[in-house]
Structure 1
Amino acid sequence: MNKVISLAHGDGGELSHRLIRDLFVKNFGHYKEAMFDASYIQLPANNIAVTTDSFVVKPLFFPDCSIGKLAVAGTVNDLAVSGAKPLYLTCGFVIEEGFSVNDLEKIVSDMANEAKAAGISIIAGDTKVVEKGSCDGVYINTTGIGIIQRQNVIPNFKSGDAIILSGTLGDHGIAILTARGELGIHVPVASDCSSLNSMLEDAVQAAGDVRIMRDPTRGGLATTLVEIAEDFSLSLVICEKDIPVKEQVQGACDLLGFDPLYLANEGKAIIIVESEKKDAVLHALHMYPEGKDAVCIGKVVKTEQPSGQLYLETLLGTKRRINRLAGVMLPRIC
């Protein structure tokens, strides 16, 4: 195979055939499906969840991760927090002319490994090659398909419901910033990118049911909680002293003027459960490496103030309203 991608790899001819056979089919399997224009799958009727996402992260490789792993984990987590069991994934690649075949193989291998770890199959895909300068190496689009296990009905939130965060904030955002090397600082933090479906399935079983689950990716914890508060007309209070942030991440935020509440995460979940189920859910989360730092950070409250708002109880004991992210803190983080 050529050492770099050429436009001929996208023209449907011999080079396209070799690329698909020797790279994608080799890593993803499903040789029989590759002989047709569609894959055949069996799913329960009227019980399907579907999500789609595009990944344009810069750089393509960052501490303990790549755009390939990110594409799988991000799609799996979108299904998992929606109450679905992820089963299948499709992927479309837009590849820049001149891109290294070795780098592409590493990305595809990372996708295959993460899919295996998540227990899903990558069953279909597409490859397009664009002229040099038309994209930053590789863009990936995914569609995830799963079986609904928990119907997304309007939750019956109650005052005192516990807000649980599955781990430390901002690891992914700071890992991306460090990998870019634009500010001349190095922070020894790896991305938290990981598929959470098995962990979240156990958490739901421990709770019997949950009010809602979300993954705080772009916009971070604060924006995600503001969206929940607004969507369901809730008042939420989180405690600054209980929010877990790695010392290295906090140090980088202090130096650069970032707020970890708004930094992106790719391996964290927010789970709101009735207060009586809090300890059971935390125990289930703590059984996984991805959930070892899980903690309750706040609760749903009754208040005379307008609902649909998020408040932070500060270290000084005061409360201030938290709004969604305004503008762009770190672009191209996923």
Structure 2
Amino acid sequence: MSDIITLAHGSGGKTTGDLIKNIFVKHFNNDILMKNDDAASFMLSGKVAFTTDSFVITPVFFNGGNIGKLAICGTVNDLAALGATPLFLSCGFIIEEGLPIKELEAIVESMGNTAKEAGVKIVTGDTKVVQKNAADKIFINTSGIGIIPDGIDISGNNAKPGDKVIVTGTVGDHGCSILLERERLDIFTDLSSDCAPLNKMVGEVMAKTGNIHVMRDPTRGGVAATLNEIAVQSKVGIKLYENRIPVKDQVRGVCELLGMDPLYMANEGKMLIIAPDDSVDTIMSVLRNSAYGAQACIIGEVTDDHKGRVVMNTLAGGNRIVDMPVGDQLPRIC
């Protein structure tokens, strides 16, 4: 097999077969995938969650992960946000001619390792190769299927006045880390992406209490965009407290230097949880005993006031509206 991707790798012939065998099957190997059929077949029972996402991040490799790890985490976390147990994923690759095979294998290996950590199987997929300059190294599409336990109804429509708003850790880590790497800014930090599969942590929370109204992973647009979406969906107001929002000093410093707001920075390993007050102590106890939730904080509450809006009580003691972002302050972060 050559050292770089060529158009022949997308031809459907022997070269394609060699690529599938030597890269994808090597790292994704499982009983369903190895049937080698045109589609995966498996048994499901109960309420099903189904999601799909595409990943076009640049740079492809970054501190804390790469596009492959990101693709698995993003899809698994979307399923977990509905309270589902993720089971099966598909993955489609659009690869630019000239991508080094070593880079492709590093991406695929990280996908296999992250899938194992999350306890999911990659059971079907597709590979296409396009001419040089027709893409940007590699794009990945993933879809995922999971099972929602009986009696669980978690949705952006379910926030109720009196609910508390929890974030499972520091905000803005992913977006800030990608910004520094991409723009090669002369700012030295040890920041890395928070990219992580959260489904097992969420599963532990669900095992202790199913009394959760909303969960969302605040990716593009960050905490600000996600909470605005929930406020509109549920026709409620959301009040945040600036002094409770966990932000790393390095993230805060970079954002202040560049005129950005951590609330609008993307996260790839955090979950927003909105739950009734009587469930909060249980949820926080589970989160803080998890590696991915040790820095969880209660950052706000749902109100009857200012419906459809997010308002923040500032460090100065006033209030300001946290608007839905207009445009994209940092494109291609996932």
TM-score by length of 1: 0.96
- Name the CA shift for 1:42/1:226 in 2 (closer, same or farther; >3 Å): same
The residue identity in structure 2 corresponding to 1:15 is: T
Partner of 1:164, secondary structure, is strand
The residue identity in structure 1 corresponding to 2:131 is: E
Match of 1:263 in 2: 265
Match of 1:200 in 2: 202
CA distance in 2, matches of 1:77, 1:156: 19
Q: What are the equivalent positions in structure 2 for 1:2-17 lying under 5 Å apart?
A: 2-17=2-17
The residue identity in structure 2 corresponding to 1:201 is: G
Partner of 2:292, secondary structure, is helix
The residue identity in structure 2 corresponding to 1:101 is: I
The alpha-carbon deviation at position 152 of structure 1 amounts to: 4.1
1:151 aligns with 2:170: no
Partner of 1:87, secondary structure, is strand
Q: What are the equivalent positions in structure 2 for 1:174-213 lying under 5 Å apart?
A: 174-213=176-215
Partner of 1:110, secondary structure, is helix
CA distance in 1, matches of 2:100, 2:205: 41
Q: Deviations over 1:14-71 (max 9, x none)?
A: 1101000011001101376353211211111x52111000000000000020001000
CA distance in 1, matches of 2:254, 2:117: 31
The residue identity in structure 2 corresponding to 1:11 is: S
The residue identity in structure 2 corresponding to 1:131 is: Q
1:82 aligns with 2:82: yes
The alpha-carbon deviation at position 132 of structure 1 amounts to: 0.3
1:216 aligns with 2:206: no
CA distance in 2, matches of 1:98, 1:153: 43
User: How large is the RMSD of aligned CA atoms in angstroms?
Assistant: 1.5
CA distance in 2, matches of 1:228, 1:113: 33
The alpha-carbon deviation at position 202 of structure 1 amounts to: 1.6
CA distance in 1, matches of 2:62, 2:210: 37
CA contact (8 A) 2:312 2:319 kept: yes
1:22 aligns with 2:22: yes
Match of 2:231 in 1: 229
CA contact (8 A) 2:157 2:233 kept: no
Q: Which moved more, 1:187-196 or 1:28-37?
A: 28-37
Match of 1:133 in 2: 133
Partner of 2:326, secondary structure, is coil
CA distance in 2, matches of 1:156, 1:85: 20
The alpha-carbon deviation at position 156 of structure 1 amounts to: 5.4
Q: What are the equivalent positions in structure 2 for 1:101-112 lying under 5 Å apart?
A: 101-112=101-112
Partner of 1:173, secondary structure, is helix
The residue identity in structure 2 corresponding to 1:200 is: V
Q: Which runs of 5+ in 2 are unaligned?
A: none
The residue identity in structure 2 corresponding to 1:327 is: G
Partner of 2:332, secondary structure, is coil
Match of 2:249 in 1: 247
Match of 2:40 in 1: 39
Match of 1:319 in 2: 319
Match of 1:57 in 2: 57
Q: What are the equivalent positions in structure 2 for 1:108-127 lying under 5 Å apart?
A: 108-127=108-127
Match of 1:309 in 2: 309
The alpha-carbon deviation at position 158 of structure 1 amounts to: 3.7
TM-score by length of 2: 0.96
Match of 1:298 in 2: 300
The residue identity in structure 1 corresponding to 2:311 is: Y
The alpha-carbon deviation at position 153 of structure 1 amounts to: 6.3
